[in-house]
Structures are given as C-alpha cells and as structure tokens.
Structure 1
Amino acid sequence: MMKIAHGAIRPFLTVLVAFAALALVALRPAAATPQIRVKEVTFPVTLSDGDTYLISGHLYYQGSYRNKTLQVAIHGATYNHRYWDAPRVDGHPYSYARFMASLNYAVLAIDQLGSGESSRPDGDLVTLEEAGSGVHQVLASLRGARNPLRHAFDEIVLVGHSLGSITATYVQGAYGDADALVTTGMGHVPVPSPFDPAVLAVLLQQPYFTLPPEARAALFYNPRLADPDVIARDVELIDELPRGLATSVLPFQYDPAVTLVDQVTSPVLVQLGELDPVAPGSTADLEDDAWTSASDVSVQVLPGMGHNFNLHLHNFVSWIPIHGWIAARLGWP
C-alpha cells in the first residue's frame, strides 16, 4: 500500500509530478500519435418495472477498439460521463478517457441512469440495485458481439469514482462481470459525513437534485492543488442525481450487505485522496479489510488530493498508477 508521511507531502508531490511528466514522454510513441476517436453508443436495459431504458456511453479509442482492454468508467453523483472527459483548462489536460485511450485502452464512459444522455426514469426507481442491474446488462452485452459496438471484449476493467465506485463495487460483487475493479474517491471505513443533513433533507424533497456550486467547491476540491478556473467551470459539468440512488446508498454506504464489497473476488485497486473529505486517505490502513474475498487488494493514497481526482492539477498521480496496476494484472494492450 502506498503511504506518504504528511510532512513529506510537498517535496514528494514535486518529485512525483516530475516523474509523471517524464513517464508521459517515455510512453509517447516516436511516430505521430493517432487521433483519439469518440463513438457515441446506446445500450437498452430492462429494469424491474419491466420497461426498457437506454444507457448512453461515449467510447474513446485510437485506431480500432478491437483487441483492446476495455475500461468501463462510471461517474459519481451529480456528474455524468464528462467527469471522465473534462476539457483542457489553461493548457492542462483533465480527460482521463483520452489519456487512457492514448495508452491504447478503449474507454467507455457511461451516463448512469438519470444522468447525461441516458434515460431518466422515475427518480425513486433508480436505486443502487436498479443502477447496478443496468450496468450489468451493459457489461454482459459487451462480453458478446450482440452490442452496439458489434465486438466482444475479452478483458474489461470497471473504473468508478465516488458514488460510481459504489455502483461498480455492487456490480462486481453481484455479477462478477469485470476482470478487475478500480475505485477512486470512495472507501469502506466509516467516517463522519461531510454533507450537511439539513441541506440533504431539503434536496431529497425532489426526485432529482444536485448540489449548489458553493458546496461543490468545498467538498470536491483542494484549492491549493486545483486551478481556480477549473473550480469555477465545475458548473459546466453539473448533472442531477436520482433520489432513489441517494436514499439507497448514503445511509448504507459502509454496509457490505448493501455494497457487496465482501463478495468481490477480482483484483481491486482503491485510490483515496489524502485531503478528500468524502473518503480521506487516513482510512487507508483499514480499507483492505473490507475486501475479504478479493484475489488481491492494492490501496493507494494520493498526496494532496481532494475528492475529484481527475480535476486536480496533479491528476496524473492517479492516472499513471491506474495504468500501471491494470498493465501488471492484465498486460499492457
């Protein structure tokens, strides 16, 4: 497990960012890098009410998406797939999907039900169980050739962020669809909630809701390592959260009977942000105890990191280790 003493954070971070830059140069092929392609796809899924809904996704890849390890990325609450494909700001890249595509992965960033371009069912219908069933149906179709991409993927990695990490964990525990699981910005060691219960009670009066910008800035960013222009533009990425997903997760997010964390058998990588108020790095020593059935568990603490890993200036300290971990277990595509 990667652990850094608090007093060593600043010099370590400087070295790590410098290493990340050198690594990117080393990883870049000598020939001109092929253009990243983006393909919009839609997957029909059936929920417990018997109706069919659509889950939208954006596939990022170079050249062809065939014969590549597929990362299926699930965004967190009040975001959509654009969390994984945020635009450059002040010359700095924030797109996880394009970074991984440049390393020869295929990345499918989906909009969870009720978000982005996916169907918007009744807000109370979209519980963790229903959201998980929808993602499972997408992954099951990707294992065969009867899907919008008309290609069966042999290797699939589920990658989640925040509430998307809980969805990904539930899917992997219930169905075991992926070869490996990566969770970011979410742990299983109980910590005091950073959300004001009075504010949540008001928000939960609506079937779909989001967080106000001022709350997002405080909860999601370490201002010392995030561009103020990115924090200001966070409003461009805002989406809504179905009430059913919030009420079926938030009171029970540390209960393995709900998250099914103890039923995940694949390899697992957990990334925690040192300064993340939602899932702080201080819980790392106990985090691997939750994954009682996983074949192996790696827990990494990212120095100086707030909650939204992809939207911090040192996002590469998350991205490069994820690539290294996947490559070590499944091979570099």
Structure 2
Amino acid sequence: MAEQERARHPWTSVRAIVACVTATLMCLIPGGAHADDASPPDHCAAVPFPVPNGVMGATLCLPAAGPTDRVMVLLPGSNYNHTYWDFPYVPQTYNFRRAMNAAGYATLVVDRLGIGASSRPPSMLVTATGSAQALHEIVQALRRGLAGAQPFAKVIIGGHSLSSGIDVLEASTYHDVDGVVLTGFSHALNVPEVLGVMATYQQAVQDPRFAGSGYDPGYLVTQPGTRARDFHAPDDADPDVIAVDESTKDVFAPTEYPDGLTSTIPPMTNLVTAPVLVVNGSLDRLSCGPGYAVCANAETLYATEAPFFGPTARLRTFVLAGSGHSVNLARNTAEYQAAVVEWADSILE
C-alpha cells in the first residue's frame, strides 16, 4: 500500500469520549433462526486459563489439514461472547474461526471474564487491563505448547470493538505477538452514536435471558431488539443472523471501558511494534466518524489511522463495504475473511 501523508489530529475529542463514556456507563449501574452444522469438529478442545479473578474459558481449534505453527487468538467485544468468532448459523459463511482453520491457522477463541465459558467475578474487578495481562499469559502459553498442541512460533491476536482495545494494551505493553487485527476500531469514534448505543444498555439482571444467572447489577447487556441498529447495517444483514445474534448475546462490565478506550489516546497505538490490520465496516456507526467519511474506503481509513501507528506496525487497512459494526456477521463477510488471511500470510512469510 502506498504511504499516505501523515497529519496529526487533536486529542481533545477523544479524551472527551473516554470521560463521557465512562460517566454515562457508571450511571447505568445501581431462537427463531436455526443453526446449520454448528457443532465444533473433533480437533477443537476446551482450554481453561486460570487468571487472578477467575478462569477464562477458551477453545483451541487446529486445522484439519495438519499441524501448523501459526495461531490466531480471538477475543469478542462487549455484548458478545465466543460465538461472535465461532458463529453457529450458516457457519460456512459467518464462522470466522472455521475460515481461519480452513486457511491453515490454528485458532484460540477466548471469552473475557464474566461472559461465555468464563467465570463471573464481581463486575468491578473486570477491566481491559486485566484482560490484556491475561492475554499476554495466553500468548506465552501458546508459544510453550498447550492442550496437546505443539508450540506455536507465530501468534496473531485479533479483537473486535472493546477487545481491539485490549489487543492494543497487550501489544503495546508486552511486544510478544507477530501481528494484531483490530476490527470495529478507529481513532475517529462518532460520539453521538456511541452515546446512542450506550443508551440501549440495561442491567443484565433486568433481561429475562439473564435473570437468576448470578450476575451482579454492575453487568450490563443490550436491551432486546436493539442490536440490529446498534451493530448491523440493514442491507448487509440477514434477519436470521440478527436473530441468532440476539439469542447468543452476552453481558459486559462497564469497568472494562475506561482503560479499553484509552487505547485510542496517544501514545498507545504508536507503541505497537507488530504489524497491524485495521478493519471496519463502511457503515459502522461507532467507528467511522460523522457521515461514515472515515470508512469510505481502505485509503481514507488508512489516512486517518496512519498517524497513530509507527513504521514497524506496517499498517494495513480494510473496509467491508456496506457492513455495520459487527463485520463478522455481514452478508459479505467472506471478503473480510479473505483479506485477513491474505494479510496474515504476507506478514508471516
């Protein structure tokens, strides 16, 4: 990709976003679709990781084609669990994990604390910094070998939305990964839209799906029926996918947001020394700035993001045309899957 002219951006608005998001979130604290071939193959194994405040659940999947020394560690964003990467509906289209396995990459899909197969500590103990520290330990464990797998020489970490911020924290602190995929992430957050999405959150204990599940009032979840607007673009989302998205949604702790959002304040991303791929949907209401101008195409996204990464990041960008925030669940997600594989192959040659 040709180098774009670098122009520094003021940081007042980003800091205001962090403060506003934090304050607003803290104020909130006091099936119709059918799956298609959704069961995991035999080469997948559950791998729990003990961490200071509990256990993080994870699943390691090895390519059916044979051994590999390459692995992707995938964390879901807030309001999602492992199903975001290992989607059960029409998996030949929407299952990112399977696409990476088919391309010859092992995958480790990890649930953040409080969601999915992970334990549920008090919400105030769950932070993005804690997740980044745990991710570092997971990376080191993969390099040593675990769950009967050979040690992995090449480790790429991938995140979505909040967990992209976790990936930035890990990569900028420990410098122990070979690549970083950041999706639903940019330095041009759309403040009104971010606040609008936040307004759709409620305490998890108020949602019938999570009533009696043991969550304390600090855990939040999207209100029923709001995810289509929050995370999808109508013309690029299958109604059945949105239904499965709703049925598999998960909670998050707002204490994950303050340090997670600081990943967009310098010098955080400038300190990432591994190659980086930034991916957004062209109609991502959260990450594409007013009027979606930042995500008009890969070139405009690159021009916005390039000033915030150093030369060793070898920044690449990709825009999935027509997609909303959740690029894994767009009708044309195969284009983004292919872009990730092409990028990963290029940096690990």
Place the TM-score, normalised by the shorter chain, in its bin.
0.7 to 0.9
Task: Indicate the residue corresponding to 2:134 in structure 1.
Answer: 134
Q: For the residues of structure 2 that align with 1:317 and 1:244, how far apart are their CA atoms?
A: 34
Partner residue of 1:123? 123
Q: Is the 8 A contact 1:61 1:102 kept in 2?
A: no
Kindly provide the CA deviation profile for residues 251-308 of structure 1, in whole angstroms up to 9, marking residues without a partner as x: x453235xx2121011111112110001126321211211135431011222111111
- The residue number in structure 1 matching 2:158 is 159
Residue 202 of structure 1: CA displacement?
6.0
State the Cα RMSD in Å. 2.4
2:246 aligns to what SS in structure 1? Answer: helix
The CA distance in 2 between the partners of 1:294 and 1:208, in whole Å, is 38
What's the TM-score once normalised by structure 2's chain length? 0.76
The answer (yes or no) to whether the contact 1:39–1:58 under 8 Å persists in 2 is: yes
Paired residues of 1:84 and 1:95 also in contact (CA < 8 A): yes
Q: Which residue of 2 aligns with 1:168?
A: 167
Deviates more, 1:177-186 or 1:205-214: 205-214
How many residue pairs align between the two structures?
A: 289
Query: Which residue does the alignment assign to 1:32?
Result: none
Distance verdict in 2 for CA 1:64–1:120, change over 3 Å: farther
User: Which residue is equivalent to 1:24?
Assistant: none
TM-score by length of structure 1 reads 0.80
Structure 1 residue matching 2:322: 3-state secondary structure: coil
Give the match for residue 106 of structure 1. Answer: 106
Larger mean Cα displacement after TM superposition, 208-217 or 56-65:
56-65
1:87 CA drift (Å) = 1.7
Structure-to-structure mapping, 1:1-333, within 5 angstroms: 37-46=43-52, 53-63=54-64, 66-89=67-90, 93-145=93-145, 147-149=146-148, 151-196=150-195, 199=199, 203=203, 206-250=217-261, 252=262, 254-256=264-266, 260-280=268-288, 282-283=293-294, 284=301, 285-292=303-310, 294-331=312-349
Q: Which runs of 5+ in 1 are unaligned?
A: 3-34
C-alpha contact (below 8 Å) 1:188/1:253 kept by paired residues = no
Q: Is the 8 A contact 2:65 2:104 kept in 1?
A: no
- 1:65 CA displacement: 6.8
Residues in 1 aligned to 2:311 and 2:347: alpha-carbon distance in whole angstroms: 17
**C-alpha displacement of 1:149:** 4.0
Larger deviation, residues 283-292 vs 204-213: 204-213
How many Å separate the matches in 2 of 1:96 and 1:286?
Answer: 26
Say if 1:287 and 1:269 are closer, same or farther in 2 by CA, change over 3 A: same
The CA deviation at 1:45 is 2.2
Determine helix, strand or coil for the equivalent of 2:136.
Answer: helix
Structure 1 or 2: more strand by fraction: 1
8 Å CA contact retained: 1:70, 1:155 = yes
Distance 1:36 1:83 in 2: 20
Change (3 A) 1:187 1:268: same
Q: Secondary structure at the match of 2:307?
A: helix
- Partner AA of 2:79 in structure 1: T
- Counterpart amino acid of residue 254 in structure 2: R
Amino acid in structure 1 at the alignment position of 2:251: E
Identical pairs, percent? 29
Q: Give the C-alpha shift of residue 207 in structure 1.
A: 1.4
CA 1:328–1:82: 2 relative to 1, 3 Å: same
Aligned partners of 2:200 and 2:226 also within 8 Å: no
